[in-house]
Amino acid sequence: PSLCIIDLGLPDMDGLSLVKQLFDDKKIGVIILSGRNSLPDKVLGLELGADDYIGKPFDPRELVARVKSIIRRIVVNELPAKTLHTASFGDWTFAQSTLTLANNKGDSFMLSAAETEILMVLLNAPRQILSRERLLSEDATSFDRSIDVRMSRLRKKIEQDHKNPKIIKTVYGAGYIFTLEVTWQ
């Protein structure tokens, strides 16, 4: 699993012990969901490795937002093996170390942080439909249309005809798909 939501009041064991066990596998996100709302309980849970602590009662929308935030962070943290490397796709090369996108015609672009964030998610999941929520930054809301603006700017740099994209296509009602094979060097 990518993320566990743990109630501290487990019947078979202490929830804090489970949090400590899961913390040893740093790839798993942990949210504590508990009726124990005292500050010492919250601090102890976070010190043992939980990524977040939500007291009961809670708003389900808040829980969903926190889950999405932690999963985005986990996905980004799974990328270190490719850090400071180069991705090649079609006629393009993207150098992570310089945030530079270049094609074999000699055109070169410096990408903004927002464009880089989106491109990295796309490059690490080629030929997969990615939802707008997965591509949104952590501080955005689910109704945020900034992803459309960022995608448009990225397409203007990558696509020959950004109004009829071939590399980053819109999948209506689902999100976006990066259509090319990506090779990391």
Q: Over its length of 185 residues, how does the chain's per-residue pLDDT go in tens digits?
A: 678 888 888 788 778 888 877 766 556 788 889 888 889 888 888 888 888 899 999 999 989 888 887 777 666 555 544 454 899 999 999 998 888 999 999 889 888 878 888 999 999 999 999 988 888 754 444 455 678 888 898 999 999 998 999 999 999 988 899 999 999 88
If we measure between CA atoms, which residue out of 61, 60, 151 comes closest to residue 111?
Answer: 151
Q: Where are the domains of the chain?
A: 3-77, 82-184
Q: What's the CA gap between 83 and 124, in Å, rounded?
A: 12
Minimal CA–CA distance to 3: which of 20, 25, 14, 15?
Answer: 25
Which architecture does CATH list for 3-77?
Answer: 3-Layer(aba) Sandwich (3.40)
In words, the CATH class of domain 82-184 is mainly alpha
Q: Is the pTM of this model over 0.75?
A: no
Please count the other Cβ atoms lying within 10 Å of the Cβ belonging to residue 103.
Answer: 15
Amino acid at the residue 105: K
Cβ-in-10-Å burial (0-12, 13-18, 19+) of 62 comes to exposed
Beta strand 92-95 with 100-103 is antiparallel
